Structure 1
């Protein structure tokens, strides 16, 4: 059984100052409002409605905290880049995102979710640069991979991996589909490493 199926919702916070103590290790999920972030979290945790999916992108306006077990957390960051949200709110979200990425000490890695058909838009790149500046590992996840045929999917993946080199940091790129679970094993492998599960498994051997 996956560790991630134990995840439970703990709290929502408008900014970093309202989050619980900054200890242990956490992995944050960020992405444009229509990148399928909530669906990916639900697929990862094997729970249908842990993260709320919405027909209206841009509903996640708070930092949502899910605890896997004591000292290990998944963080759902506010979606960004949705056109119908007032500018004032966009700027507020961006400030909260920036503060979180630059100041949160327990952050062990960042998952940036992007629609496989439109990867590395401006705000995605800005997020990745912030993470690289802090020496944080990044998993660039190309979501909705089921929407493309196998050949096109591979081509997009190769193109994205080449583009990721420009960040000059620890940026891994994988394809993912929350619909059929494609790429879920790769996501778990990366998260296990960041959250220290891999080390524990090695200690047991």
Structure 2
């Protein structure tokens, strides 16, 4: 894959509205304002493919982007936003879990954590949930350009320590949607998992 051709396909409010299961899917999940859209734009070499916003909770549906006519990247609604009514947050949570559990073409979950902060309780619950459901995932430490090399190393160690205590071993990639740090590693993971059959 060369990650040169990218187009927005649809916004799906629930799994019923997702596109036909025809291409491998890679989803991006995490708290609101963690930098999902900026990172997706960088990975796909686009400036305005995914809409970025300073308002948490702006992504309210599963946004599908077709890349190189080979895969879908799916931007999931962020979790942990305070300004969205609880009833709506609960619905999004159910929809996201249903997607993660039932969507057959899903190859890999990218869970984004802001490198400037420790993984929250929600982040840790999500780590455990994905592992308990045997869902392949990687942790992306976003906004890595905002930290010194020493601070970033500390941040990476904290995440690895949390995962280790849960007996979880997955890739942890410091990255930045602004500078492109870690983007090549993410692209390599997508290329590697694209043809991986989770049902084998």
TM-score (normalizing by structure 1): 0.89
The number of residue pairs the alignment matches comes to 196
Report matched runs for 1:152-191 at 5 Å: 152-191=151-190
Q: TM-score, normalised by structure 2?
A: 0.91
Larger relative contact order (Cα-Cα within 8 Å, sequence gap ≥ 6): 2
What CA distance in whole angstroms lies between the structure 2 residues aligned with 1:37 and 1:82?
14
Q: Which runs of 5+ in 2 are unaligned?
A: none
4+ residue runs of structure 1 moved beyond 4 angstroms? none
CA displacement at 1:71 relative to structure 2: 5.0
After TM superposition, the structure 1 = structure 2 runs for residues 11-26 of structure 1, keeping only pairs within 5 Å, are: 11-26=10-25
How many Å apart are 1:23 and its aligned residue?
3.7
Q: Deviations over 1:137-169 (max 9, x none)?
A: 211011111111111111211221222223434
Give 3-state SS (helix, strand or coil) of 1:141's partner. Answer: strand
- Tell me the equivalent position of 2:43: 44
Consecutive unaligned residues in structure 1, runs of 5 or more: 198-205
Aligned to 1:32: 31
User: 1:50-107: per-residue Cα shift (whole Å, max 9, x none)?
Assistant: 0000121210000011111445211111111111111111111101111011111111
Name 1:203's counterpart in structure 2: none
CA separation of 1:136 and 1:23: change in aligned 2, threshold 3 A: farther
- Richer in helix (by share): 1
CA RMSD, aligned part only? 1.7
Matched residue, 2:143: 144
